[in-house]
Amino acid sequence: MAAAKIHDRLSDQLRVAPSGKLDLGKVDPDHTFGWKREDAEAEQAQYEAKLTELQQRIWAEGKHSLLIVLQGIDAAGKDGTIRSVMDAFNPQGCSVVGFKAPTPQELRHDFLWRIHAHTPGKGSVTIFNRSHYEDVLIVRVHGLVPRKVWRGRFRTINEWERMLTEEGTTIVKFFLYIDRDEQRERLQARLDDPDKRWKFASADLPERELWDDYIAAFQDTLQKTSTEWAPWYLIPANHKWFRNLAVAHVLGETLERLDPKYPPAEPGIESIVIPK
């Protein structure tokens, strides 16, 4: 299959349809949509150059803001995606925010209180490494709040994201999907590498036993919160090279649609000569 034809359809194939039915059990985390590694890495490099240029325009124009949400089960590759793809962004106009367990002060407020302060301003890109979606995922799996509470948060999240988009923020959400065997291999690789053991915690093992519960929670979340204004993209992520291509592709298309422009220069500035 020609790369151009694959290229034309990839974003549509990855996007989770609003209000659509989704069965993660029928999604192959090894799927690469016909791409081969060598072609994908070359294509990704082109997209990253495009992302660098487009983000620079967004920063200069100061009109648009972009929120990127990364979610996935432990070892799905959120950090690796940030290193491999988001490195195209200039740190001056891009920030990464990771959300851990809420503090006692944060728990005194609504669940979005701590999130809203980190949304991007005009001209900026913000990446959420985990996000407000933990409040319909981990709290559900561990029974931290009643079912009625976490189910009601789907509507709250959709309305909150709609408000952000109406105020000028473009939202793109990625679910990095790996299978249980791939997670085991990645967790074992952390243990086998002395320089990566710090990333492993003994609590990771009990969490792994909740695999089916997490997958059910992710499936429900994707179905209920992929909207026209804030879509989810389901990324088969067993192959890191395809994951990187897919994310770069979607982001490139998203920023192109924003069509950011450099602001006009001061009139007559082209005739200035810097004195020696």
The domains of the chain, with CATH numbers, are 30-258 (3.40.50.300)
The pLDDT of residue 2: 41
Q: What is the pLDDT of residues 136-164, one digit of tens each?
A: 999 999 999 999 999 999 999 999 999 99
The single-letter code of the amino acid at 11 is S
Partnered with residue 234 across adjacent β-strands are 175
The pLDDT of residue 268: 87
What are the Cα distances from residue 130, in Å, to 26, 50, 77, 228?
A: 24, 26, 11, 21
Q: What is the pLDDT of residues 5-34, one digit of tens each?
A: 445 589 999 999 997 789 999 999 999 999
Q: What is the pLDDT of residues 218-250, one digit of tens each?
A: 999 999 999 999 999 999 999 999 999 999 999
Note the pTM of the prediction, 2 decimals.
Answer: 0.94
Q: Residue 1: is its pLDDT beyond 70?
A: no
Residue 43 backbone dihedrals phi, psi, to 5 degrees: -65, -40
Question: In terms of Cα–Cα distance, which of 21, 78, 76, 73 is closest to 220?
Answer: 21
The pLDDT of residue 8: 55
Question: In terms of Cα–Cα distance, which of 131, 71, 138, 64 is closest to 97?
Answer: 131
